[in-house]
Amino acid sequence: MKLRSVLNNLLERKTPQEFIEDRTNSDLKKTLNVFDLIVLGIGAVVGTGIFTIIGSAIAGTSEGPGAGSAIIISMILAAVASVFSALSYSEIASMIPVAGSAYTYTYATMGEFMAWMVGWILMLEYAISNITVASAWTGYFAQLLKGFEHILPSFIVNFPLWLRNDYRTIYEMCGKYGWDVHEKMPFIHISPAGIPIDIPVAINIPAIAIVLVLTILLIKGVKESTKVAAIMVGVNMFIILSFIIAGSFYVRPENWTPFAPNGIEGIFTGAFVIFFAYIGFDAISTAAEETKNPQRDLPIAIMGTLILCTILYISAALVLTGVVPLNAIDTQAPLAHAMRFIGKDWFAGLISVGALCALTSVLLIYQLGATRILFAMSRDGFLPKSLNKIHKKFKTPHILTWIAGIIVMICALFMDLNTSAELCNFGVFTSFIIICVAVLILRKTEPDRKRPFKVPLCPWFPIFGIITCFGLMYCKLGHKSTSAFYFIIWLLIGLAIYAGYGYKAKRLEEK
């Protein structure tokens, strides 16, 4: 009987109506309109992907070949995989307009255990991405300072490595360039039990500073945050469009041949890698409780973001591969390198400004998403209730916002960009598959519930979404993937937390 009780609890779910009634009593301030949501979506999607990941998808990584000029096919595949999931997100978000995104939708269809695991997977997407982006932000900030070396004092432009990188990056750079690591950062010398140990000291000050500023901004209010994001997105879009227009005059069609140097394998591997550039549109649904008219605005914002970003990505990819030969593609800063390749060094500096704006908006929106998911999980009793308190003046979950910010500040350590992007992709593909399944379940269990937006050609579109996402994951699993191993470890950690705390906390709440 006890086993049956446990299984029943694992499958226990809240109905869509229960979630909506909870939202009615929410203290979150409802200030967002469709324009704000599209800004959030573009700000989350157009960032690390277009400024860094696109180079790896074209040229390849240590774990797989690149797509070459066929990157546009890879982008279309990734967009197709996204659009089926985006349609499913739109239907459920309009039905259940509450904070929590896929976590909430899973709770309404598959029960609390699957909801917890999906929430844990979403935390992987937002947390790992934010930690990586914060470190990348420092790199672009340092490049921007070098552009002012004739104006700013030398100690600002060339501030020590140990104040702008973590120790792993410094060790890597010392090994690459033959530097003495003890000259690049200080060490603390200790001798426990008579055994001498040197502990490296490295603090990523710029990353900590920008996360701190954005954390304070998010506490002030989501409307204020979207205003800042709108400015960042505006600058970012202007610079990317300028790259597309200016670079188109230097395109050489011969650079597009061979079109697919690594064949189908390269195209599918490129699609998996570039998919990182599309994640983030689901962050729109995390702000559902702070939207004035979520039933109407969420579907428009989700689909609008996906369409605009796909057009932008394909245009930028065509120019990039047309300007720079495949063997000369830079995987760290591909757009800036392309401008230097054609002798436009000043434009390369301008792109660094755009990259900073893009990464700042990504940091802002991902931290917003992480906070709202934690808020939903805490409200449902899987995390301490004391964490979901709303600020009396600003009407924001200030405690969780500080927790999310502090975690990123502490964990702004070096992670290989490609590995972390692929790790996030495994999480996103999994959550997208579950969302498509959730639509099919709700069509059976809640057939009469009002749906302001409906997935066309259901059940075929959700099924196509499941097949395309699973197909891209399967292609990646064909390689010896470090990221796949890390993803399994992450799932096991989430399972242990639920078994050790979440399950018991939920049962105590119900008593």
Integer Cα distance of 375 and 248 in angstroms: 46
pLDDT of 479 higher than 60: no
Q: Helices (DSSP H) in 287-344: which residue ranges?
A: 294-323, 334-341
* Residue at 10 is within a domain: no
Q: How many domains does the chain have?
A: 1
Residue 257, amino acid: T
pLDDT of 9 higher than 60: yes
Mean pLDDT within 489-498 = 86
* Residue at 340 is within a domain: yes
The pLDDT score that the predictor gives to residue 463 is 92
Tens-digit pLDDT profile for residues 217-255: 888 877 777 777 778 888 888 888 888 998 889 988 888
- For residue 186, give the 3-state DSSP assignment: coil
- For residue 190, give the 3-state DSSP assignment: strand
Rounded to the nearest integer, the mean pLDDT of the chain is 79
The CATH number for 297's domain is 1.20.1740.10
* Cis status of the peptide bond prior to 258, with omega within 30 of 0: yes
Q: DSSP letters of 393-405?
A: TT-S-HHHHHHHH
Integer Cα distance of 294 and 36 in angstroms: 12
The pLDDT score that the predictor gives to residue 133 is 78
Integer Cα distance of 304 and 300 in angstroms: 6
Between helices 345-379 and 222-248, what is the axis angle to 10°?
A: 150
The pLDDT score that the predictor gives to residue 47 is 72
* Residue at 107 is within a domain: yes
Task: List phi, psi (to 5°) of 261.
Answer: -60, -25
* Residue at 311 is within a domain: yes
The two most distant CA atoms of the chain are separated, in Å, by: 76
Mean pLDDT within 56-82 = 80
pLDDT of 456 higher than 70: yes
Task: List phi, psi (to 5°) of 421.
Answer: -65, -45
In the structure, what pLDDT confidence band is assigned to residue 1 with cuts at 50, 70 and 90? very low
The pLDDT score that the predictor gives to residue 8 is 66
* Residue at 187 is within a domain: no
Integer Cα distance of 65 and 376 in angstroms: 40
And the tokens for 77?
């595949």
10 Å CB burial of residue 416 (0-12, 13-18, 19+) is: middle
Q: Of the segments 156-170, 277-291, 458-472, which one has the largest average pLDDT value?
A: 458-472
Name the more confident of 448 and 421. 448
Mean pLDDT within 188-200 = 80
Q: Name the residue range of residue 229's domain.
A: 31-167+203-510
* Residue at 191 is within a domain: no
Contact 135, 415 (CB under 8 A): yes
* Residue at 491 is within a domain: yes
Q: Of the segments 54-63, 125-134, 163-172, 372-381, which one has the largest average pLDDT value?
A: 372-381
Global pTM value:
0.75
Task: List phi, psi (to 5°) of 64.
Answer: 175, 155
Give the DSSP H/E element, type plus range, for residue 324. Answer: none
Q: DSSP letters of 104-135?
A: HHHHTTT-HHHHHHHHHHHHHHHHHHHHHHHH
In the structure, what pLDDT confidence band is assigned to residue 419 with cuts at 50, 70 and 90? low
Integer Cα distance of 341 and 333 in angstroms: 12
Name the more confident of 22 and 105. 105
* Residue at 71 is within a domain: yes
Integer Cα distance of 183 and 178 in angstroms: 12
Tens-digit pLDDT profile for residues 86-140: 888 888 887 877 766 678 788 888 888 888 888 888 877 777 777 777 777 877 7
pLDDT of 476 higher than 70: no
What is the rounded (10 degree) CA torsion for 317, 70, 282, 61? Answer: -90
pLDDT of 313 higher than 70: yes
